[in-house]
Amino acid sequence: MARPATSSPNDVRTVVLTLLREAGVAGEPSAQSFRRAVSVRKVRARLGGGNLATIGREINRLEAELVGEDLVLPGMPDIPADIATLMAQLWQAAVGVQLDAVVTLQANAKAVAEGARNELIEARLRADMLMQELAEMRATAVDKDAKLAQALSAQASLTDQVRALQDDLTQSDARASEFAAKLERHKAQQSELVVTAREQYDGLSRQLLQETAQQRQLAQQEGSRLASQLKFAEKREASLVGRLESLESELQEARTARDKASGEIAALRYVNTSLRAQLDEYMRVRPTPAKASGEASPKQASKRPSAARLKDAAAKP
């Protein structure tokens, strides 16, 4: 992985021109004045870093642009021997310094290359980890997509079920409204039937009371007529009076038990029919005025019902 450049050609050009101004070189500089004022180290120090080769190439380009290639330099005079010796020593020292700089640059370059190699390895490892994480994320996404599809399918099924339940609920509400209307009609009909039954029961009760009063009156008349009979007739009258008293108690019970109207009415009708039959029989077997003062014949006495038979007839439903 290459290290990004810390300086651009424009930055190098700005620094070179600044160094020329600071050295007092105005106008078109000469090669010597340009070399004295500008160097790779000075430019790199001003920039605060950068690639030496790139800075050197940019400086050479600016030198060719500012100094010019067709400039003719004056010939140099002969150099004395001692000065030449000193210059050679100075050259060797400069070459040694340059070689040290080159070694330092090589070491720096190796360190940079090693760092770049380590960064590349780390980047590859990170890339492998990221690829693995991406594969896991893709598998998770596929699993989530499958679960989402299942959830959507279940939601659609539940939506259909909810719609069906709503339709059933609507139909149930309609049926409930219809049943409620029918129930109201049945209640009204039942109320009418109850009123009609009560009216019929009241009419039958009044009729029964009238018939019972008539029967009681007839029984009293019969008792008064039988009062002049013999002891046997008096006993019969006493039994009839007891029967009438039992009938009165039964009638009283019938008034208090009107919820059993049908059974009680049938029983009372039966009792009424029995009484009528007995009264008719009494009318048939009663003595004539000519025999009122005499004793009843054995045949007529045998035809008269006993008090036990009257009680049994009254007890039958």
Q: Can you give the residue ranges of every domain in the chain?
A: 196-315
With contact defined as beta carbons under 8 Å apart, do 245 and 237 qualify?
A: no
Query: pLDDT value at position 287?
Result: 67
**Measured distance CA(195)–CA(261) in Å, rounded:** 14
**Measured distance CA(13)–CA(4) in Å, rounded:** 19
Both tokens of 126, joined, read 């990170």
Query: pLDDT value at position 256?
Result: 82
Query: pLDDT value at position 1?
Result: 44
**Measured distance CA(233)–CA(292) in Å, rounded:** 11
Q: Please write the tens of the pLDDT for every residue from 279-314.
A: 988 888 876 655 445 544 444 444 455 545 545 555
Query: pLDDT value at position 303?
Result: 46
Query: pLDDT value at position 312?
Result: 57
- Could you tell me the pTM of the whole model? 0.25
Give the residue ranges of the chain where pLDDT is below 70.
1-7, 68-81, 233, 254, 287-317
Residue closest to 295 by CA, chosen among 237, 234, 220: 234
Residue 77 carries which side chain, given as an amino acid letter? P
**Measured distance CA(247)–CA(217) in Å, rounded:** 13
Both tokens of 94, joined, read 């400069």
Query: pLDDT value at position 316?
Result: 53
